[in-house]
Structure 1
């Protein structure tokens, strides 16, 4: 829909007390609202043409005055157009402030992040909260690199701002890890920026959606997992280093329960229940989404729980397992992988993928059941995590072959 705003610039004069000459003002009018700027230019009454809004005559002085007025008119028109393009509905005062170089008022990008942090910190998981803090950190770096400023008004966010931020993330040289950011990591940060910006829209801090023409594109990735023989190698690993034993046990526990790091490390004795089937179950809620989860505890997972029932660190923290950071855990898992001769990037989340593929789907557990145990709200998410492994595909094809052998060939009528 086109804007119905009216905009105009007029040059008017006012008399100066005790002086014969007149002072020239630029009058800005937007939707009937006015604001005036003193141009610090004076003219004799006989040298001013009020109807034409310019100096009268052909003198060099008048020519220079009219050139100056035309430049002022052009600049004010350009300011109005730029504000419209950037998504604002300009006011006369806003245009005046831009002309005079006065710092504009309005909520900033960091204001939006701060408000998001205040209202959402209880409704999102600590892990997600930390991700938003990281995105904000990159925004601050980008603002200093691109604009040499610590903050920027929200209305400055447009399509170019977003694409420039994307370019910045893709080319940022990391100092705390070796690999530069990959496509999906970049898209995640832009996705979080979009959520913060749209929150600002709901607050009427921003009129237009700068993301309306921007498409966030994730690349489909093959989720890694351990094959059955690799899982067995880790299960059989013996070590005298307690840190590696803990890392191994937590990993194996997740391989047989599908729990994420945060859900496993926060698991409490109260989350373990005896089901009507006589078996023990994990009945809890996912930290990330708040989705209820009900997971039957397999024998190997139950054995690991029993091994830590009297662990002093566990008893002190009130959790099933001793508390360890995800960063340290993943570091120790790399040592485990080396000791087991596994040439894969062994991270804790790989255990969740292994549960979905090698432990459950490959053994005939329906994907709907796997989805519920993983706590997914959509089965499409499970399909990403739990791709069918080669052995399962082979079994399915053997079943198909058997069915085809029992059918008669089609006969012509």
Structure 2
């Protein structure tokens, strides 16, 4: 990284006009490099201490303004490279100090000055403090956008090419053209992340690109809580896997059951280590990945049996309880497991957490305050919904009985 930039005049090269060149001196990787500014001045008007032209010179205002601008562009370039953890380029620094735009390089006329979709996402993630789950959401959204871009335009677009039409076509792709179409809330999530990254990239690069979302409202779907009933959960546990079932399918089933028994989010199941679990395997306590709040959960016999399996069969250098599995892979296998169990619901990893809360509420023995503690909610209102969900299940059950006896 360049440590220092100085301005000086070439007193050893005085021209016939009596003037001498003003040059930049870059200290870069232990060496010095001179870069001409294209400006010249009589030596008597140069103030080396301030690195400025004396106001007594008629050209002082013009030259000082130009030199100040070049310095500012140089510092801006360095800060951006540092923020993105990228190496500075000597040639790029020279071009900036000469006042030559970086995108004007010969032989690179077709190269866009704008970042690609994937670079814009990568740069945004680098500069933000994100939890692993958020990073993963940005990674998935980036990959989906790049796949769409390449399938629709046969190349990965740069950010200035993303317009209103792109957004409309992307939404259609998510809803109708993907192998597994996305629900409205997932579509909204993808669009929100794209909108945030575009605006950030526009600001940091000062591109002044038109916002494709200025006339495109992002609509959330109606939130629908999905949980397994006691009967469905029992069917899920009893579901027999095919003899040729892979390890990942078995892992997905075990993690889902463990989360149904403990109320853990998928991110916390992946983060769970043996250090969180007491010696008797009767309970665990850990900080939640999403909220950073502590949660204490007693361990059921079913959950304990799963822990014993992985304690004996799986060894991890990070002391994790469960082998690594991607959430998208997990959710795909849950679709297969739902079919095997005869469950007509869209199972995802988060359904396990809702199942835990709903079954606690249905028991009639656990208050909303206890559910709040067990699930690590910051607001008891979030826990109260599981009591209401349980009442709805009871209502449906009674209606089924009444219809049968009618």
* Shorter-chain TM-score tier: 0.5 to 0.7
2: CA distance between counterparts of 1:272 and 1:108?
A: 46
2: CA distance between counterparts of 1:332 and 1:153?
A: 35
Deviations 1:316-335 (A, max 9, x none): 66223444554665565556
Counting only pairs closer than 5 Å after superposition, residues 183-198 of structure 1 correspond to structure 2 as 183-198=184-199
Residues 220 and 230 (structure 1 numbering): CA distance in 2 closer, same or farther, change over 3 Å?
same
2: CA distance between counterparts of 1:147 and 1:240?
A: 41
TM-aligned CA deviation for residue 386 of structure 1: 7.7
Conserved? CA contact 2:252–2:333, under 8 Å: yes
- Can you give the 5+ residue segments of structure 1 that lack an aligned partner in the other structure? 1-93, 398-413
Counting only pairs closer than 5 Å after superposition, residues 299-378 of structure 1 correspond to structure 2 as 299-301=300-302, 303-304=304-305, 307-308=308-309, 310-314=311-315, 318-326=319-327, 329-330=330-331, 333=334, 336-338=337-339, 340-360=341-361, 362-363=363-364, 365-367=366-368, 369-376=370-377
Determine the structure 2 residue equivalent to 1:71: none
TM-aligned CA deviation for residue 281 of structure 1: 3.8
2: CA distance between counterparts of 1:136 and 1:118?
A: 14
Q: Does 1:151 align with 2:157?
A: yes
TM-aligned CA deviation for residue 141 of structure 1: 4.4
Q: Does 1:134 align with 2:140?
A: yes
Coordinate RMSD, CA, aligned: 4.3
Determine the structure 2 residue equivalent to 1:256: 261
TM-aligned CA deviation for residue 151 of structure 1: 2.8
Deviations 1:18-50 (A, max 9, x none): xxxxxxxxxxxxxxxxxxxxxxxxxxxxxxxxx
Determine the structure 2 residue equivalent to 1:108: 115
Deviations 1:112-141 (A, max 9, x none): 223113224x6231x443332332234334
Q: Give the secondary structure class of the aligned counterpart of 2:314.
A: helix
TM-aligned CA deviation for residue 196 of structure 1: 0.6
Conserved? CA contact 1:294–1:372, under 8 Å: yes
Of 109-118 and 240-249, deviating more is: 240-249
TM-aligned CA deviation for residue 375 of structure 1: 4.3
Residues 260 and 149 (structure 1 numbering): CA distance in 2 closer, same or farther, change over 3 Å?
same
Determine the structure 1 residue equivalent to 2:200: 199
Deviations 1:125-178 (A, max 9, x none): 1x4433323322343345456666533353x5554543343344334x33xx3x
Deviations 1:285-316 (A, max 9, x none): 333x2422413214335533553374131466
Determine the structure 2 residue equivalent to 1:272: 277
Conserved? CA contact 1:314–1:323, under 8 Å: no
Conserved? CA contact 2:192–2:218, under 8 Å: yes
TM-score by length of 1: 0.55
2: CA distance between counterparts of 1:335 and 1:153?
A: 38
2: CA distance between counterparts of 1:211 and 1:376?
A: 33
Conserved? CA contact 1:313–1:323, under 8 Å: no
TM-aligned CA deviation for residue 260 of structure 1: 2.2
Conserved? CA contact 1:361–1:367, under 8 Å: no
Deviations 1:97-126 (A, max 9, x none): 9xxxx8697433534223113224x6231x
Counting only pairs closer than 5 Å after superposition, residues 155-166 of structure 1 correspond to structure 2 as 156-166=161-171
- Can you give the 5+ residue segments of structure 2 that lack an aligned partner in the other structure? 1-100, 399-406
1: CA distance between counterparts of 2:375 and 2:346?
A: 22
